[in-house]
Amino acid sequence: MLAHGAGEVVCAVNGVDAFKKLETFSPDLILLDIEMPEMDGLEFCEKLRRVEAPLRDVSVVVMTGLEKMDDRVRALHLGISGLMHKPIQEPQLLQNVHLCLQKRHLMKKLLESPLIQEADLDLAKQMQSLLLPDEAMLQDYSQRYHMGIQHLYRPSEAMGGDYWMMQPINNHIVAVCVADFSGHGVMAAINTFRLHTFLKEYAKYYASPAEVLKELNGNLHRMLPTGEYLTCFLGFIDMQRNILQYAAAAVPPAVIVQNGKFSILDCSGEPLGAYDDAVYHNHEVPFVTNSTLFLYSDALVERNGQDKILFTATSLLEHIGKISLNNKRTVCDGIIADIDQSGHHFDDDLTLLCLSHQ
Amino acid sequence: MPISETVKNDSAEMEISGRLGFSDSSEFRKRLNDLLARNVKSLSIDLARLDFMDSAGLGMLMVANTECRSREVALSLCNPQGEVKLLLQMTKSYDRFKIIG
C-alpha cells in the first residue's frame, strides 16, 4: 500500500532488525510499532536519538494500541513526529505519511536557504523579549523592597544579547543583574535563557554575588567556544542594612548617585566564560535613602566606529550628577530624555536600569 | 579592518587599524593561521591605529592568545589606545595578555 505513494519502503520485524537495516538504508520516515519483541518501539526511539545525525533526526511516527498515558508521554519526549492509534486505517496512514514527508522536505529547504539568518534573528528576538521582567512583577518588588525601579530597553536591529533581571533573595535582599553575551543570534538567546533560569532558581542559595559569578564562570567556560563570553554585573541589595554588595565582570562602571554626588563602582573583571580560573571579588558600598544605582549596557558609552558619540564614560558621569542635582526628574528620565533629544542611533542593544532607595 | 603583516626571520608583526568587530572574524582568523603556519616564534600585534574593538574583536585576540600559547609562540599586544585600552583594562586583559605600551 505504501510503496505506491511513498517511494522506497523497507520493513523490519523488530528494533534489532531495524538497526541492521538502517546500516544500509537511510529513510526519511520510520513507522514504528510500540509493541515489538526483543526491542520495543520506545527503546528503539531512545537508541535512535543517540546515534549520529542524519539518522538521529529521521522523522518517526509511532503506532500504538497503548492507552497508558506514561508511554505516550515518554514517546513525545523522544521527539516523535506523530502518534497513530491502532487499528490503523489506510487513508489515515497515507495522510500522516504524506504530511510528515512534506514537513521534512520543507525543513530541509529552510535550513539550506540563506533566509535562515532572518528566521534566526526573529526567533532570537522573540526569545529575548520573553525574558524581560514584566511590570506587575516590578511593581511587586518596588513595594516589597521600598525601591523605585526605572528601566529602558531598546533592542538593536542586530540582536545584541543584552539581558537584565531582578530576583528576590529574601525579605530584605533583592538581586539585580545586567548582562550581555558577546555572541549573536539564537545561540546567544538560548544561553540567555540558561542564565535566566540559573539566576531565578539558584542565586538565592549562594552567599554572595562573587560566588554566583564563580559558578557561572565555570558553567560558561565549558559551554561557550573560545572567544565568546558574558559580561555581567550582579548585585545583592540589602534594604535593611542599606548596603549594595556586588561583583562584576567587565561591564562599564556603575554609578551610585546621591544629591548630585556620585560614586563610581569599579566593575572590571575577567569576562565570564573566558578563563576557567577567573576569580571574582565582592565589593560593598552604602546604599542609603535617596540614593540611586545606575546600571547601563556599554552601548551608552561606546563609539562603535561612529564619529559622534553621545557620552563618554566620563561625560556620562558628569551628566548623571547634574540631573541628580537638578532634582526635577529622575536620573533615568533625564538620560532617556537626552538620548531622545539627541536623535542618536545606537548600533547595539541599549539597557538602562535605575534603582532608587526610597 | 586593514591588517598588514611583516615577517622577519622568526618574528611576525601584525598591525590592525580602524575597527575590529564581528564582520572581521574570518579575515582575522585566516591571517593569524597563515602567520602561524610560517612557524614564527613570536607575534606582536600593533594596536596603535586601532580606534575601536568590540567584544567580538576581543574574542579574536583571546583566540589568538590560546592558539599562540598552544604553539609556544610569544604573543604581545602593543600600544592600545583610547577605547581599546579601556576595554582591555575593564576586562582585566593585562593579567592574561602580554601588553606593551
Please write the tens of the pLDDT for every residue from B59-78. Answer: 999 999 999 999 999 999 99
| Cβ of residue B51 closer than 8 Å to a chain A Cβ | yes
Nearest to A49 by CA among A59, A35, A63: A59
Nearest to A250 among B56, B63, B91 (CB): B91
Interface of A with B in 334-353 (CB under 8 A): none
Question: b or e along B32-68 (b: 16 or more beta carbons within 10 Å of the residue's beta carbon)?
Answer: beebbeeebeebbbbbeebebbbbbbbbbbbbbbebb
Q: Which of A60-74, A102-116, B17-31 has the lowest mean pLDDT?
A: A102-116
B62 to chain A: which residues are within 8 Å by CB? 226-227, 229, 274
Q: How distant is the Cα of A241 from the closest Cα of chain B, in angstroms?
A: 29
pLDDT of residue A69: 61
Query: Region A75-92: what's the mean pLDDT?
Result: 70
pLDDT of residue A110: 53
Instruction: Please report which confidence band the pLDDT of residue A324 belongs to, taking 50, 70 and 90 as the band edges.
Output: confident
pLDDT of residue A188: 78
Residue A93 burial by Cβ neighbours in a 10 Å radius (0-12, 13-18, 19+): middle
Coil, strand or helix: which one is A46? helix
Contact A271 B66 (CB under 8 A): no
pLDDT of residue A333: 84
Q: Count other C-beta atoms under 10 Å from residue A345's C-beta.
A: 10
CA-to-CA distance for A350 and A151, rounded, in angstroms? 10
Chain B residue nearest residue A277, CA to CA: B96
Phi, psi of B6 (to 5 degrees): -135, 145
Interface of A with B in 259-318 (CB under 8 A): 267-271, 274-275, 302-305, 313
pLDDT of residue A78: 65
pLDDT of residue A311: 79
Query: Region A344-352: what's the mean pLDDT?
Result: 82
CA-to-CA distance for B97 and B94, rounded, in angstroms? 6
| Cβ of residue A227 closer than 8 Å to a chain B Cβ | yes
CA-to-CA distance for A205 and A27, rounded, in angstroms? 48
Chain B residue nearest residue A249, CA to CA: B91
pLDDT of residue A337: 85
Phi, psi of A341 (to 5 degrees): -65, -35
Interface of B with A in 28-47 (CB under 8 A): none
Answer whether residue B36 shows pLDDT above 90: yes
- Contact by Cβ (8 Å): A272, A217: yes
Q: Which three cell numbers stand for residue A137?
A: 512583577
pLDDT of residue A119: 61
Tell me the percentage of chain A whose pLDDT exceeds 70: 79
If one compares B64 and A307, the residue with the highest pLDDT of the two is B64
Contact B92 A302 (CB under 8 A): no
| Cβ of residue B23 closer than 8 Å to a chain A Cβ | no
pLDDT of residue A358: 87
Long-range contacts from A327-331, C-beta under 8 angstroms, 24+ separation: A330/A148, A330/A150, A330/A292, A330/A354, A330/A356, A331/A257, A331/A292, A331/A294
pLDDT tens-place string over residues A120-163: 666 666 666 777 888 889 999 999 999 999 998 887 766 667 89
Contact A227 B22 (CB under 8 A): no
| Cβ of residue B62 closer than 8 Å to a chain A Cβ | yes
Query: Region B68-97: what's the mean pLDDT?
Result: 95
The CA angle B70-B61-A225, to the nearest 5 degrees, is: 70
Helix (H) or strand (E) holding A200: helix A185-202
pLDDT of residue A81: 65
pLDDT tens-place string over residues A237-291: 999 999 999 999 999 999 998 877 888 999 999 999 999 999 999 999 999 998 9
- Contact by Cβ (8 Å): B91, A270: yes
pLDDT of residue B32: 94
pLDDT of residue A273: 96
Residue A83 burial by Cβ neighbours in a 10 Å radius (0-12, 13-18, 19+): middle
Nearest to B62 among A180, A227, A231 (CB): A227
CA-to-CA distance for A34 and A157, rounded, in angstroms? 47
pLDDT of residue A308: 63
Q: Counting one residue from A and one from B, how many pairs have CB atoms under 8 Å apart?
A: 56
B52 to chain A: which residues are within 8 Å by CB? 302-305
